[in-house]
Amino acid sequence: MASQFDARGRLRHLVTLKDLSRAQLVELLDLADRFITPYGEFPARDPALAGRTVANLFFEPSTRTRASFELAARRLGADVLSLDVSTSSRAKGESLLDTIYTLQAMQVDVFVIRDAQSGVPAFICDHVAPHVAVLNAGESHLNHPTQGLLDVLTMRRHKGGFENLVVTIAGDIQHSRVARSAHHALKTLGIGELRLVAPAALAPDPDEFAGATLLDNIEAGVRDADVVMCLRIQRERMEVSRNPDPADFHREFGLTPERLALARPDAIVMHPGPMNRDVEIAGSVADSRQSVITEQVRNGVAVRMAVMQTVMETLHG
Ligand code: NCD
């Protein structure tokens, strides 16, 4: 499999956060920080991708990630193509690689890919031309690297560092690429404590989350936490018979104001979206002053600008 790094160890694709060094993570976060401007001001712009073409290929539903990659590319000066996959030729049976080669012939420089199947971004990395970059925008339950980056950036902006931080991720951990990518980044950045809270049926294989504490009790998980992140039940990745009842789930695992009161008074509440209000998170908690959910979305554009600028710098110096 092609590496996401070039011969000099620089990032040329982004498939997973698993093997990024601490220095590489910090460099991306620092660059993203510089792309964040206050609400009401003009968003940051940079001509780093002027004349380049970015193609968004989302073979799974997306609101935030797709819009945010598109805005990030435009704010870097690129032409952007967001393929409507339901009407594209892949729906007519064209192979994914033929779609990639077709777009590459139109001089696409960056492919942004979301797919329900594991291994698709790495497979495309193996086949694109040497001047083309591939960015993973969500791969099955395994990787969602730009989400992981925006999550740790949001934590760092509020909490300063990671050494003494207690981060709790609660909900459907087993099917979550968001939890996996957050774990990859937090582990490398030296997190104080990572707690994962899930009912037994949605708990992950502990081997996949080395160093994290697995819990099945939300109160214990939230107590004295600095960051509480809630995750949606990812019904699309499980058999219908295994779907938990939403009301039962809320009663046993939902982040309610009472449960949030067990966390540190300055704890922040996060959610990658899309949210199911009053299932994994009470609507009032999502709208509370402790919630940084919309900030995560804003930071996501900055992170994607940072990633695109970084890989283009690797490829074209
Ligand atoms: C997540 C995803 O697609 O993995 N959403 C996102 O990208 N912001 C989480 C989810 O679908 O629950």
Mean pLDDT of the chain: 95
pLDDT digits (tens, 9 = 90+) for 121-144: 999 999 999 999 999 999 999 999
Q: Assign 1 a pLDDT band (cuts: 50, 70, 90).
A: low
Distances (CA, A) of 59 to 73, 110, 212: 19, 16, 31
- pLDDT of res. 289: 98
- Which atom of ligand 1 has the smallest separation from the CA of 231? 12
Four-way CATH pick for 22-143+297-316: 3.40.50.720, 3.40.309.10, 3.40.50.1370, 3.10.310.40: 3.40.50.1370
| Residue 242 in this model has a pLDDT that exceeds 80 | no
* Residue 173 CB less than 6 A away from ligand 1: no
Burial 94-114 (b: 16+ CB within 10 A, else e): eebeebbeebbeeebbbbbbb
The superfamily CATH assigns to domain 145-292 is: Aspartate/ornithine carbamoyltransferase (3.40.50.1370)
* Residue 234 CB less than 6 A away from ligand 1: yes
Q: Assign 150 a pLDDT band (cuts: 50, 70, 90).
A: very high
- pLDDT of res. 78: 98
Q: Which two tokens stand for residue 268?
A: 């922040």
Q: Where in the chain is the domain with CATH 3.40.50.1370?
A: 22-143+297-316, 145-292
Question: Ligand 1, residues 56, 58, 178: which to mutate, most atoms within 8 A of Cβ?
Answer: 178
Q: Assign 86 a pLDDT band (cuts: 50, 70, 90).
A: confident
Number of CB atoms found within 10 A of residue 316's CB: 12
> Percent of the chain at pLDDT above 90?
90
How many Å apart are CA 104 and CA 222, to the nearest integer?
47
How many Å apart are CA 186 and CA 192, to the nearest integer?
9
- Nearest CA owner, ligand 1 atom 12: 232
**What's the average model confidence in pLDDT over 285-302?**
98
pLDDT digits (tens, 9 = 90+) for 162-211: 999 999 999 999 999 999 999 999 999 999 999 999 999 999 999 999 99
* Residue 24 CB less than 6 A away from ligand 1: no
If you count them, how many residues does the chain have?
317
- pLDDT of res. 144: 98
Better-scored residue on pLDDT, 240 or 206: 206
Q: Assign 157 a pLDDT band (cuts: 50, 70, 90).
A: very high
- Nearest CA owner, ligand 1 atom 7: 65
Lookup result for tokens 């949605």: 202
* Residue 16 CB less than 6 A away from ligand 1: no
pLDDT digits (tens, 9 = 90+) for 25-47: 999 999 999 999 998 999 999 99
How many Å apart are CA 298 and CA 13, to the nearest integer?
23
Phi/psi at 268 (5° precision): -105, 150
* Residue 136 CB less than 6 A away from ligand 1: no
Q: How many Å lie between the centroid of ligand 1 and the Cα of residue 306?
A: 20
Q: DSSP code of 282?
A: -
* Residues 189, 195, 197, 202, CA torsion sign: positive
* Residue 138 CB less than 6 A away from ligand 1: yes
Q: How many Å lie between the centroid of ligand 1 and the Cα of residue 36?
A: 22
Residues 6+ apart with CB under 8 A from 207: none
